[in-house]
Amino acid sequence: MTKPIKSYTLEELQDLLKDLKQPSFRSKQLIEWLYLHHAKSYDDMTNLPHALREQLSEDYPLHVPEVIDMQTSHDGTMKCVLSFYDGACVEMVAIPSNDGRLTVCCSTQAGCAMGCVFCATGKEGFTRNLSTGEIVDQVLIAQEHMGKRVSNVVVMGQGEPFLNYDHTIAALKILNDEKLLNIGARHITISTCGIIPGIDRLSHESEQFTLAVSLHAVFQRTRDNIMPGVSKYSLKDLKTTLLKYIERTNRRVTLEYAMIRDTNDSAVDLQTLTDFCAGLLCHVNLIPLNKVQGSKYQPSSWQTMNHWHMALNKNGIEATIRNSRGSDIAGACGQLKNEIERHM
């Protein structure tokens, strides 16, 4: 039975080479080929013995995602649809900044089981978890196509990362490894719909990854309706978990709030969000809702968003309005992939 080489964590790769009776330095060489040089085949790994390459090729296939569609926005944002060896597809977005930074938004699952009603990915359902290497590959591909080093990673693409916790964290450790991609932990953000056990596990990790929580509603009934995948986790328990996370880590949490007209943007919603933030070391990111074809949900007006922005800051809650990027290239999560698959 074969197993793709990039499904192994760094520690598992070291154990694998040991089981294959290889000296310890071989694992270092293999890891560098996979995640520093982004080798496309074992034939590229010229400092590995031919016999070892043959054995690895036969039992541990090296798969590299294929870019099946790529679009570039007028603002420089690049969006790719990647196809893996079994036909599963995901999206990756690379976002350049004027100050020289390059941020990659990567996916952790093909599809998503959360079923958020305002999300294009939620409409397609869940296909499978991505492996450790499949997550890292998205960042490596972005570097190659953008021609510069990735400085920031946001795990905000397709899927719920805490439902693929082990592979996600293993991938982020590769991205953070100073001998590999060397992306600072504080420049790596994990976004969750609010999977409480995952938040608790993250609070015990030694790396200082940043946590973002997709809140999107502060009334339980509203949140359950628009985010059915996390309906078993109450807002009360979520806040308790976030307080514990902040106490353990002393790190600020970002609360993501997609503003939806006549759904979660009333004056009462604003006051309830203000109350939810009380006592939390947090930052609120107000997000203009991306319009999804066939969806009844529409973005809040700019007047409403600006009012919320000013009101939250006036109440001592740091808040920003996210600058929407790539809207001219099906910028919402899942939109481009869905468009491609409709024509396949």
Task: Give the per-residue pLDDT at 328.
Answer: 59
The domain that holds 41 is classified in CATH as 1.10.150.530
* CA–CA separation, 184 and 178 (whole Å): 8
Q: Which of 44, 59, 74 is the last residue of a domain?
A: 59
Residues 109 and 195 both lie in one domain: yes
Residues 222 and 266 both lie in one domain: yes
Q: Taking all residues of the chain, what is their mean pLDDT, rounded to a whole number? A: 92
Whether 257 shows a pLDDT value over 80: the answer reads yes
Task: Give the per-residue pLDDT at 268.
Answer: 98
Pick the catalytic residue: 91, 134, 160, 256?
Answer: 91
Residues 84 and 54 both lie in one domain: no
Length of the chain: 344
Residues 178 and 243 both lie in one domain: yes
* CA–CA separation, 333 and 159 (whole Å): 10
Task: Give the per-residue pLDDT at 158.
Answer: 95
Task: Give the per-residue pLDDT at 123.
Answer: 75
Residues 73 and 50 both lie in one domain: no
Catalytic site includes residue 333: yes
In the chain, what percentage of residues exceed pLDDT 70? 94
* CA–CA separation, 250 and 79 (whole Å): 34
Residues 105 and 208 both lie in one domain: yes
Task: Give the per-residue pLDDT at 134.
Answer: 98
Whether 339 shows a pLDDT value over 60: the answer reads no
Task: Give the per-residue pLDDT at 296.
Answer: 87
Q: Which of 40, 59, 78 is the last residue of a domain?
A: 59
Whether 343 shows a pLDDT value over 80: the answer reads no
Residues 271 and 291 both lie in one domain: yes
In the chain, what percentage of residues exceed pLDDT 90? 86
Concatenate the DSSP letters of all residues of 92-156 into one string: EEEEE-TTS-EEEE--SEEE-SS--TT-HHHHH-EEEEPPHHHHHHHHHHHHHHHTS---EEEE-
Please give the structure tokens belonging to residue 244. Answer: 């514990």
Handedness of CA 142, 194, 173, 244 (dihedral sign): positive
Residues 43 and 158 both lie in one domain: no
Residues 47 and 83 both lie in one domain: no
User: For the residues 247-274, what does the mean pLDDT come to?
Assistant: 97
Is pLDDT larger for residue 337 or for residue 257? 257
Residues 48 and 148 both lie in one domain: no
- Whole-model pTM? 0.92
The domain that holds 215 is classified in CATH as 3.20.20.70
Residues 30 and 148 both lie in one domain: no
Domain count, the chain: 2
Residues 216 and 70 both lie in one domain: yes
Task: Give the per-residue pLDDT at 341.
Answer: 39
Give residue 106's domain range. Answer: 66-342
pLDDT-derived band at 121, boundaries 50, 70, 90: confident
Whether 336 shows a pLDDT value over 60: the answer reads no
User: For the residues 125-152, what does the mean pLDDT come to?
Assistant: 96
Tens-digit pLDDT profile for residues 33-82 = 999 999 999 999 999 999 999 999 999 999 999 999 999 998 899 999 99
Whether 124 shows a pLDDT value over 90: the answer reads no
Task: Give the per-residue pLDDT at 265.
Answer: 97
Pick the catalytic residue: 106, 193, 282, 333?
Answer: 333
